[in-house]
A and B are shown apart, each in its own frame.
Chain A
Amino acid sequence: MRFVLRRLGHAAFLLVGVSVLAFFFSTLAPGNYFDEMRLNPQISAEQLSALRAEYQVDRPMAVRYVRWAGAVLQGDLGFSFAYDTPVAPLLWTRARNTLLLTGTATLLVWMLALPLGVWSAERLGRPVDVALSWATAVLLIIPDLALALGLLVLVVRSGWLPTGGMVSVGFDTFSVVHKLQDVALHMVLPVTVLVASALPVLLRHVRAAVAEALQAPFLRAAEGHGISRRRLLYRYVLPAAAHPLIALFGFSIGTLLSGSLLVEVVMSWPGLGPFLLEAILARDLYVVIGGVLLSTLFLVAGNFAADLLLYWADPRIRAETTGR
Chain B
Amino acid sequence: MSTRSRLLVCVAVLGALHLGVACAGFFAPNDPAAQDRDHPYAPPMRLHFVDAHGGLHLRPFVYAQALRVDSFDTYEEDRAKAIPLKFFVRGALYRVLGVLPLRVHLFGFGDDLPVYLLGSDGYGRDLLSRVLFGAQVSLLAGLIGAGLTLSIGLCVGAVAGFWGGWKDEVLMRVAELFLALPWIYLLFAMRAFLPLAVPPLKAFLLVVMVIGVVGWARPARMVRGIVLSAKERDFVRAARGFGASGGYLLRRHILPETSSVLLTQAAILVPQFVLAEMTLSFLGLGVPEPMPSWGNLLASLQHYNVLVSYWWMYLPALAMVPFFVGYLVLASLLQGSTEAYKIEGAGSGV
Contacts and interface: CB of A to CB of B under 8 A. Distances in A.
A91 interface: no
B180 A145 contact: no
A149 B301 contact: yes
B189 interface: yes
Interface stretch (A28-36, A50-58, A117-125): A28-36
Interface stretch (B42-50, B74-82, B155-163, B315-323): B315-323
Interface string B126-149: 000000000000000000000000
Interface string B144-179: 000000000000000000000000000001101100
A52 to B, nearest CB: 19
B176 A280 contact: no
A153 B278 CA distance: 19
Contact of B184 (A150, A262, A296): A262
Interface string B296-321: 00100110100110010010011011
B188 A280 contact: yes
Interface string A114-155: 000000000000000000000001001111111001101100
Interface stretch (B59-67, B88-96, B193-201, B223-231): B193-201
B183 A258 contact: yes
A281 B328 CA distance: 34
B321 A262 contact: no
B176 A295 contact: no
Nearest to B294: A145
Contacts of B321: 141-142, 146
Contacts of B192: 25-26, 29, 279-280, 283, 288
Contacts of A14: 176-177, 180
B195 A31 contact: yes
B106 interface: no
A240 interface: no
B54 interface: no
A135 to B, nearest CB: 14
Interface stretch (A15-23, A81-89, A173-181): A15-23
B27 interface: no
Contacts of A141: 321, 324-325, 328
B181 interface: yes
B317 A145 contact: yes
Interface residues of B, number: 43
Contacts of B174: 17
B187 to A, nearest CB: 9
Interface residues on A, range: 35 or more
B206 to A, nearest CB: 12
B307 A143 contact: no
A106 to B, nearest CB: 13
B243 interface: no
B318 to A, nearest CB: 7
Interface centre among B183, B194, B283 (most CB of A within 10 A): B283
A12 interface: no
B320 A292 contact: no
A138 to B, nearest CB: 10
Nearest to A143: B275
Nearest to B327: A141
Interface in A145-169: 145-146, 149-150, 152-153, 156-157, 164
A301 B285 CA distance: 29
A143 B278 contact: yes
Contact of A300 (B180, B285, B304): B180
A254 interface: yes
A152 B306 CA distance: 12
B189 A22 contact: yes
Contacts of B345: none
Given A22-B189, A150-B317, A281-B285, 11 more contacts: A25-B190, A25-B192, A137-B328, A140-B328, A153-B307, A164-B304, A255-B182, A261-B184, A262-B184, A288-B188, A291-B185
Top 8 closest pairs, chain A to chain B, by CB: A29-B193, A146-B317, A258-B182, A258-B184, A280-B192, A17-B177, A257-B182, A25-B193
22 contacts: A13-B173, A14-B180, A17-B177, A22-B189, A25-B192, A25-B193, A30-B195, A145-B278, A145-B282, A153-B307, A156-B307, A254-B181, A254-B183, A257-B182, A259-B184, A261-B182, A261-B184, A281-B284, A288-B189, A299-B181, A299-B182, A300-B180
